[in-house]
Amino acid sequence: MQRPSWAPGDIDLERPGIARVYDYWLGGAHHFAADRAAAEKTLEAMPGLRGVVLNHRAFLRRAVRYLLGQGVRQFLDLGSGIPTVGNVHEIAQHADPGARVVHVDVDPVAVAHSRSLLDGNARVSVLQADVRDFGSVLSSPEVDKQLDFDEPVAVLMIALLHFVSDDEDPWGVVGGYRDRLAPGSFLAVSHAGYEGDEETASSREARRIYDARVAPMTLRGRVELTSLFAGFSLVEPGVVRVPAWHPESPDDLAEAGKRFPGFAALGRKA
Ligand SMILES: C[S@@+](CC[C@H](N)C(=O)[O-])C[C@H]1O[C@@H](n2cnc3c(N)ncnc32)[C@H](O)[C@@H]1O
């Protein structure tokens, strides 16, 4: 297959990637045939998936605007993905051009595209790293350049932690970042998950395809997501369905009532 000019030379075009499949669902332009095939197959099993993904994106926007309202001007965006319209630095710098952002992702396409888009934006850095290795992320030159940990920083983990299994200790990963944060800092998380036995057959089938072709996911419900906020006080309304976190429209609440397959929350470090 022909390699597009924006694709880094060292990636396997035949293997679907989380960031590129997500970009396809979001309506972006940075994916390959293998990504599109996996994305379409999953959508066939669960046609509502695109709406799910768009709701996580909408939460990201609401959370960043909330954080700006709290005076936060520094953002560590972990698992930042491929920047399509309305990503963290756009929202933050629209509100305050002095806002600083570090985007971190493991996917080379996400990183290459972020770098080309952000070239010349001195207050945004892009780091290619595995977010589970919080020591390397926190000691990187990119983080050092942009973030002052004596001041509040918002750590964003949007649609990320379901890619960190229990064996990979997501509590320890979150704790590694939390321990570096000054009081008044925040953590924002959105996560795939259900309560009890409410997962539908179509979701189970979509997950089976996604796990096999893209990446294994660990679903977590309200209780598990709450446990990830140890050391933070949850901002009202606590851990809720993604569209129900500070909803902006009746549509958000209608979605939330449909047993939306994911939860979100924002916590403040005391
Ligand atoms: C579902 S996408 C969400 C992207 C973005 N946060 C958003 O809300 O649009 C998850 C992203 O996390 C990245 N990711 C998954 N596991 C990661 C890891 N261990 N380290 C760094 N990035 C990771 C993927 O490459 C992907 O870009």
| Measured distance CA(94)–CA(3) in Å, rounded | 34
With the most atoms of ligand 1 within 8 angstroms of its CB, the residue from 84, 127, 163 to mutate is 163
Structure confidence by residue, pLDDT tens digits, 202-211: 999 999 999 9
3-state secondary structure of 250: helix
Domain residues of the chain, as ranges? 18-269
Structure confidence by residue, pLDDT tens digits, 18-64: 999 999 999 998 899 999 999 999 999 999 999 999 999 999 999 99
User: Ligand 1: distance of its center to the CA of 190 in Å?
Assistant: 12
Burial class of 118 by CB neighbour count within 10 A (0 to 12, 13 to 18, 19+): middle
Q: What percent of the chain has pLDDT over 70?
A: 99
User: Ligand 1: distance of its center to the CA of 120 in Å?
Assistant: 24
Mean pLDDT of the chain: 94
Partnered with residue 127 across adjacent β-strands are 104
Cite the DSSP H helix spans in 102-154.
108-118, 134-138, 141-146
> What is the band of 173 on the pLDDT scale with cuts at 50, 70, 90?
very high
Rounded (10°) angle between helices 201-213 and 33-45: 160
Q: Provide the pLDDT for residue 2.
A: 66
76-108 CB burial, b ≥16 within 10 A, e <16? bbbbbbbbbeebbbbbbbeeeeebbbbbbbbbb
pTM over 0.85: yes
3-state secondary structure of 57: helix
Has domain 18-269 been given CATH number 3.40.50.150? Answer: yes
Pocket of ligand 1 (CB under 6 A): 18-19, 22, 56-57, 60, 79-81, 105-107, 110, 130-132, 158-160, 163
- The per-type count for the chain, helices as H runs and strands as E runs, is 11, 8
Mean pLDDT of 113-135: 93
User: Ligand 1: distance of its center to the CA of 171 in Å?
Assistant: 17
